[in-house]
Chain A
Amino acid sequence: MKLNDFISDNKSLIGLIILMAAVSFANANFLGIDNMLNILRQTSVNAVIAMGMTFVILTAGIDLAVGSILAFAGAICASLIGMDTPLIIALFITIMVGAGLGATSGVIISYFNVQPFIATLVGMTMIRGATLVYTHGRPISTGHFDVAESFYQFGGGYMFGIPNPVIVMAVIFALCWFILSQTRFGRYVYAIGGNENVARLSGINVKKVKVLVYALSGALAALAGIILTARLESAQPTAGVGYELDAIAAVVLGGTSLAGGKGRIFGTIVGALIIGVLNNALNIMDVSSYYQMIAKGAVILLAVVVDSRGKSN
Chain B
Amino acid sequence: MTTLLELQGIEKSFSGINVLKSVDLTIRAGRVVALAGENGAGKSTLMKIISGIYQRDSGTVFYKGETVKFATARQSMDAGIGIIHQELNLLPEMSVAENIYLGREPTRLGKIQWDVIERESKKYLAQLKQNIDPNTPLGKLSIAQQQMVEIAKALSLNAEVIIMDEPTDALTDIETAILFEVVDELRAQGKGLVFISHRLGEIFEMCDDIAILRDGEMVHQGPVSQMTEGDLIHHMVGRELSDQYPFVPAAPGDVRIEVEKLTAHGAKEVSFTASAGEVVGFAGLVGAGRTELAKAIFGANPVESGTVKIDGKEIRLKSPQDGVKAQIGYVTEDRKQEGLVQSQELGINMSLTGLERFCNALGFVNKACEAITISEYIEAFAIKTRDANTIISNLSGGNQQKVSIAKSLVPEPRVLILDEPTRGVDVGAKREIYTLINKLKAEGLCILLISSDMPELLGISDRILVLSGGKLTGSFARDEATQENIMRCAVAGQTNG
**CA gap between A182 and B342 in the complex, in Å:** 21
Question: How many residues on the A side are at the interface (Cβ–Cβ under 8 A)?
Answer: 21
**CA gap between A185 and B356 in the complex, in Å:** 11
Q: Report B463 CB to chain A, min CB distance, Å.
A: 26
Interface centre among B325, B343, B367 (most CB of A within 10 A): B343
Q: Could you show 27 A-B contacts with beta carbons less than 8 Å apart?
A: A182-B365, A183-B364, A184-B359, A184-B364, A187-B351, A187-B365, A190-B348, A191-B344, A194-B341, A194-B342, A195-B340, A198-B338, A198-B340, A198-B341, A198-B352, A199-B352, A200-B320, A201-B298, A201-B320, A202-B320, A202-B352, A202-B353, A203-B323, A203-B353, A203-B411, A205-B319, A261-B344
In the bound complex, residues from chain A placing their C-beta under 8 Å from that of B55 are none
Question: Is B332 part of the binding interface, using a Cβ–Cβ cutoff of 8 Å?
Answer: yes
Q: Report A34 CB to chain B, min CB distance, Å.
A: 39
Q: Report A266 CB to chain B, min CB distance, Å.
A: 18
Known: A184-B355, A187-B355, A195-B341. A202 touches B407 (CB 8 A): yes
Are the CB atoms of B344 and A201 closer together than 8 Å?
no
Q: Report B315 CB to chain A, min CB distance, Å.
A: 13
Question: Is A204 part of the binding interface, using a Cβ–Cβ cutoff of 8 Å?
Answer: yes
Q: Report B314 CB to chain A, min CB distance, Å.
A: 19
Q: Report B302 CB to chain A, min CB distance, Å.
A: 13
Partner of A191, one of B298, B300, B341, B364: B341
Are the CB atoms of B343 and A261 closer together than 8 Å?
yes
In the bound complex, residues from chain A placing their C-beta under 8 Å from that of B348 are 187, 190-191
Q: Report B7 CB to chain A, min CB distance, Å.
A: 37
In the bound complex, residues from chain B placing their C-beta under 8 Å from that of A188 are 355
Question: Is A231 part of the binding interface, using a Cβ–Cβ cutoff of 8 Å?
Answer: no
Interface centre among A184, A191, A203, A261 (most CB of B within 10 A): A203
In the bound complex, residues from chain A placing their C-beta under 8 Å from that of B325 are 203
Partner of A194, one of B324, B343, B363, B411: B343
| For the complex of A and B, 4 pairs with smallest distance between CB atoms | A203-B324, A194-B341, A184-B363, A202-B353
Are the CB atoms of A261 and B341 closer together than 8 Å?
yes
Question: Is A24 part of the binding interface, using a Cβ–Cβ cutoff of 8 Å?
Answer: no
Question: Is A197 part of the binding interface, using a Cβ–Cβ cutoff of 8 Å?
Answer: yes
Are the CB atoms of B363 and A203 closer together than 8 Å?
no
In the bound complex, residues from chain A placing their C-beta under 8 Å from that of B363 are 183-185
Are the CB atoms of B343 and A201 closer together than 8 Å?
no
Partner of B344, one of A194, A204, A205: A194
Question: Is A262 part of the binding interface, using a Cβ–Cβ cutoff of 8 Å?
Answer: yes
In the bound complex, residues from chain A placing their C-beta under 8 Å from that of B131 are none
Q: Report B174 CB to chain A, min CB distance, Å.
A: 36
Question: Is B15 part of the binding interface, using a Cβ–Cβ cutoff of 8 Å?
Answer: no
In the bound complex, residues from chain B placing their C-beta under 8 Å from that of A204 are 321, 352
Partner of A262, one of B300, B338, B343, B351: B343
Q: Report A135 CB to chain B, min CB distance, Å.
A: 38
In the bound complex, residues from chain B placing their C-beta under 8 Å from that of A182 are 364-365, 367
In the bound complex, residues from chain A placing their C-beta under 8 Å from that of B353 are 202-203
Task: Give A163-195 as 1s and 0s: 1 = Cβ < 8 Å from B's Cβ atoms.
Answer: 000000000000000000011110110110011
Task: Give B304-348 as 1s and 0s: 1 = Cβ < 8 Å from A's Cβ atoms.
Answer: 000000000000000111011100001010000111111110001
